[in-house]
Structure 1
């Protein structure tokens, strides 16, 4: 029985080491700010922009602040899938490239998801304390998003 256990453990260890050689491309464009970036399209108050960068940009932009475990498989694969999914739904780096109608929808969606505490995700907040937003921070973002969406609606 002990021999079978040792063989199984050796196989698991070999597989774990072997998968470390397959690294997915990381979502990193350090310091690069696109002309279509949310902060370039809108005049975002610094306190709101700071919250968005700390709580949202890792999954919802082309600039992820990768941590030490983002190079360990299979965690990196899961993170890549999560980030790709987040960027597909909302990408702050490319926000200016979508129609104003979709921008209004996205702004209201951001406000609603924060208000309903669907974002930031609980799993993200566990590892990123700066993404744990206070009620004041949530209100600040929700109010600014709704105000901006309303001003865009009256322009169109």
Structure 2
């Protein structure tokens, strides 16, 4: 039992050497999404940590393997929709991203694993409806 615990501890320590990059690339404020204040406020509270360049990296994002999972989630989220560079998207890209927001705001976002540690990010039914209406997407 002691040997297994020692091996586990050594592996855990070795994992800490493999760190992922946690970046918040500064983008021009002119590129940030232009949305009504009530919509932008919801995005900032519930979406920006993953879907913008304004990620607040919590202390546990420095501990592997959590750091790997969190960094991967943020990287994938920014690739899907990044509110910090919204105005750099073409009209066609914006249209596709609005459709994605429309579809996922009820089904998948924010992730429950995120809400577990950020309760204020959980969207109410009214907020979800408000965002869907704002997208202008027709079912």
TM category (shorter chain) comes to: 0.7 to 0.9
**How many Å separate the matches in 2 of 1:77 and 1:65?**
15
What does residue range 1-156 of structure 1 map to in structure 2 within 5 Å? Answer: 5-29=1-25, 32=26, 34=28, 35-38=30-33, 42=34, 44-114=35-105, 116-146=106-136
Moved over 2 A (4+): 32-35
1:54-77 C-alpha deviation (Å, 9 max, x unpaired): 111111112211112111111001
* Bigger Rg, which one: 1
**How many Å separate the matches in 2 of 1:93 and 1:68?**
23
TM-score by length of 1: 0.79
TM-score by length of 2: 0.87
Figure out how many residues of one structure are paired with residues of the other and give that number: 137
**How many Å separate the matches in 2 of 1:60 and 1:52?**
9
Name structure 2 gaps, 5 residues minimum.
none
CA RMSD of aligned residues (A): 1.8
**Kept in 2: contact 1:27–1:63 (CA 8 A):** no
